[in-house]
Amino acid sequence: MDLLRSLPLGLYLEQPQTWLHKIDPRVKFAWLMSFLTSYVLANNLWRVLLVVVLIIATLIARIPRRVWQQQMGWLLMLSFFILAIGAISPDGMGVNHQPRLPANEQILTQQAFSNNIKEPVAEKKAYSYVLFHKGPVKVTRYSLSLAVRLSTLIFTVIYSTNLYLLTTAPEEITSGIESLMQPLRRFKLPVTEIALTLTLSLRFIPLVLEEVQNLFRSVMTRAINWKKLGLKGAFKVWMTVAERLLENLLLRADQMANAMMVRGFTSPNEHRVQWHDLRLKGRDWLAIATLILFWGIRVTIGTQV
């Protein structure tokens, strides 16, 4: 089991360099926040459109299929199962719904003629709160709406964040966030220290996956008979593995700290390294204009009624 390939979440794609890689990290961060915040108080049409936009952006960017196929496939499958389970689950309303019109439509006709109504009676619109009901399976309008909300939320939050990390280097992320946080220096907040901590944490993610992968392989190679161990024995084994994982991660963190101390690192303000020159170019301004159009469409058709 290779976690670094089977679960490449949060990893940066160095090659090939797509047009998403070349966009300024601050602009991409604004797009990411837009995906995460425009979902609030939005209708189901907009929530589905967010999923479609993410899929189209991945295809247009020409990201290798081997990179996004498994991630998008698993997320789409998970979202579909959540949609199906949520749709057939009870909506929790607890209301006994009755038709708005009487069963005998002649009553309305007789009342209309008796009251000398000259205008024609409006045609009855087909409305049903229960969309599907067969045996124990029952799908209502509210349960379907909740299912769409939950399934699209999970896909949007996870995949938009993963797509941002996939096309943005950790150094670019921290440089962009540090640039956006510059106004907070007036409140004497340690902006540079926060950016440095974020850089180290992003660099630490592959190390965590590598340690987890090595420990799982060590357990599998020992051919442990889990049936003979029982529940208590299996719990002890996994507790030992978790303890070993924590020790290895602390050892890696100590090695990183020693490496920084050997290189004479005392404070991030005195040892600033400019990885990227953040300047907005033509493609960045086009992305900003598209973002403004994105929010215009969100306000126009995406607001929940």
pLDDT of residue 244: 86
**Same domain, yes or no: 282 and 263:** no
Tokens of 146: 């909740």
User: Residue 251 is part of which domain span?
Assistant: 190-273
Least trusted range by pLDDT, from 141-145, 159-163, 258-262, 284-288: 258-262
Tell whether 107 is covered by a domain.
Answer: no
Burial 267-297 (b: 16+ CB within 10 A, else e): ebeeeeeeeeebeeeeebeebbeeeeebeee
Higher pLDDT, 38 or 112: 38
Mean pLDDT for the chain overall: 79
**Same domain, yes or no: 9 and 75:** yes
**CB pairs under 8 A, 24+ apart, for 158-162?**
158/75, 159/54, 159/71, 159/72, 159/75, 160/32, 160/35, 160/36, 160/50, 160/54, 161/32, 161/36, 162/9, 162/10, 162/71
**Same domain, yes or no: 1 and 71:** yes
* Terminal Cα-to-Cα distance of the chain (whole angstroms): 48
Tell whether 263 is covered by a domain.
Answer: yes
Tell whether 174 is covered by a domain.
Answer: no
Q: State how far Cα 175 lies from the chain centre.
A: 22
Tell whether 123 is covered by a domain.
Answer: no
**Same domain, yes or no: 59 and 73:** yes
Q: What is the mean pLDDT of residues 102-109?
A: 56
Higher pLDDT, 6 or 247: 247
Q: Which helix (H) or strand (E) holds 140?
A: strand 137-140
**Same domain, yes or no: 76 and 212:** no
Q: State how far Cα 214 lies from the chain centre.
A: 28
Length of the chain: 305
**Same domain, yes or no: 153 and 265:** no
Which among 205, 221, 212, 209 has a CA at the least distance from the CA of 242?
212
Residue 3 has pLDDT above 50, yes or no: no
Tell whether 101 is covered by a domain.
Answer: no
**Same domain, yes or no: 139 and 264:** no
Angle at 79 (CA atoms; ends 73, 84), nearest 5 degrees: 125
Q: How confident is the model at residue 126 (pLDDT cuts 50, 70, 90)?
A: low
**Same domain, yes or no: 243 and 143:** no
Tell whether 106 is covered by a domain.
Answer: no
Find out whether 148 and 44 touch, Cβ atoms under 8 Å: yes
**Same domain, yes or no: 144 and 207:** no
**Same domain, yes or no: 54 and 30:** yes
Q: Tell me the pairing of strands 137-140 and 130-134.
A: antiparallel
Higher pLDDT, 97 or 196: 196
Q: Which helix (H) or strand (E) holds 133?
A: strand 130-134
Which of 142-146, 192-196, 223-227: highest mean pLDDT? 142-146
Q: Which residues, at least 6 apart from 63, have a Cβ–Cβ distance to it below 8 Å? A: 13, 18, 20, 166, 167
**Same domain, yes or no: 248 and 291:** no
Cα gap 273→283, rounded to integer Å: 26
- For residue range 175-209, list pLDDT tens digits in order: 888 888 888 888 888 777 777 777 777 777 777 87
**Same domain, yes or no: 151 and 42:** yes
Tell whether 285 is covered by a domain.
Answer: yes
Domain count of the fold of the chain: 2
Cα gap 26→284, rounded to integer Å: 9
Higher pLDDT, 47 or 141: 47
Tell whether 70 is covered by a domain.
Answer: yes
Q: Which residues, at least 6 apart from 78, have a Cβ–Cβ distance to it below 8 Å? A: 154, 155
